[in-house]
C-alpha cells in the first residue's frame, strides 16, 4: 500500500509540471519504462528535470530530480549539474546525489549523437544506498520540429550498502521519444 501511495503522489507531482515543461520524454527498454519532464530557464542557461523509472522485472523504481547549467561550445551542446535520486529497490531504499554531464553533437538538422554520464559516490549516497552510476550513448533523430526519437545503449547501476556487486536497474538498449514544446 505504501508503494502504491508513493507512486500516486509521484505521478501527480510529475504531471503537474507538464504545462511548464520544455520537453517530455518517454523512455523504454526491455525491462524499464521511464517518464521525465525538462524545463529550461527563460534565458536557456539553466534547466530542471524530474523523472521516474520503473523496472518491470523486479517491480522497483528510481526517481530523480536534477539541476543543470546549460551551454554550447561550437556545435557541441550540453549541460552539467547534479541529479538527486531516490531508489526504492523492494526492501532497500534511499536517496543520493550524482554529478555529471549530458552532451549532444548535431551532425545535421535531423541527426545528433548523444552521451551522458552521472556518478554518485558513497559519500553522497544515504540510507541503504552506497553509490550510483548512470550513463548512455546513442543517437537522436528529429522526427518533426517538435519531436525526436533517441536510441542507444544505457546503464543505470546502484550500489547497495553491505551487498557485494551492483544492482543493474537498467542495462542494454533503450528507445526514447521526446516531445518538444
Residue 122, classed as helix, strand or coil, is helix
Q: pTM for the complete prediction? A: 0.87
In the predicted structure, residue 2 carries a pLDDT above the cut 50: no
CATH of 2-180, one of 2.60.98, 2.60.200, 2.40.160, 3.40.1130: 2.40.160
Tens of pLDDT, residue by residue over 114-139, are 999 999 999 999 999 999 999 999 99
Neighbours of 88 (CB within 10 A): 19
Distances (CA, A) of 34 to 11, 41, 109: 12, 23, 27
46-82, pLDDT tens digit by residue? Answer: 999 999 999 999 999 999 999 999 999 999 999 999 9
Amino acid at each position: 500500500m505504501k508503494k502504491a501511495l508513493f507512486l500516486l503522489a509521484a505521478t501527480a507531482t510529475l504531471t503537474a509540471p507538464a504545462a511548464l515543461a520544455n520537453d517530455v520524454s518517454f523512455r523504454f527498454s526491455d525491462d524499464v519504462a521511464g517518464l521525465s519532464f525538462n524545463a529550461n530557464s527563460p534565458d536557456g542557461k539553466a534547466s530542471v528535470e524530474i523523472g521516474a523509472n520503473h523496472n518491470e522485472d523486479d517491480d522497483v523504481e528510481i526517481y530523480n530530480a536534477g539541476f543543470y547549467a546549460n551551454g554550447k561550445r561550437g556545435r557541441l551542446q550540453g549541460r552539467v549539474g547534479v541529479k538527486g535520486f531516490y531508489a526504492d529497490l523492494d526492501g532497500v531504499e534511499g536517496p543520493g546525489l550524482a554529478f555529471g554531464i549530458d552532451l549532444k553533437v548535431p551532425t545535421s538538422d535531423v541527426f545528433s549523437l548523444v552521451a551522458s554520464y552521472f556518478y554518485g559516490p558513497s559519500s553522497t549516497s544515504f540510507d541503504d544506498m552506497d553509490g550510483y552510476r548512470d550513463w548512455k550513448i546513442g543517437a537522436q533523430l528529429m522526427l518533426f520540429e517538435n519531436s525526436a526519437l533517441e536510441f542507444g545503449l544505457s546503464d543505470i547501476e546502484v550500489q547497495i550498502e553491505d551487498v557485494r556487486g551492483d544492482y543493474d536497474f537498467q542495462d542494454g538498449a533503450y528507445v526514447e521519444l521526446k516531445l518538444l514544446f
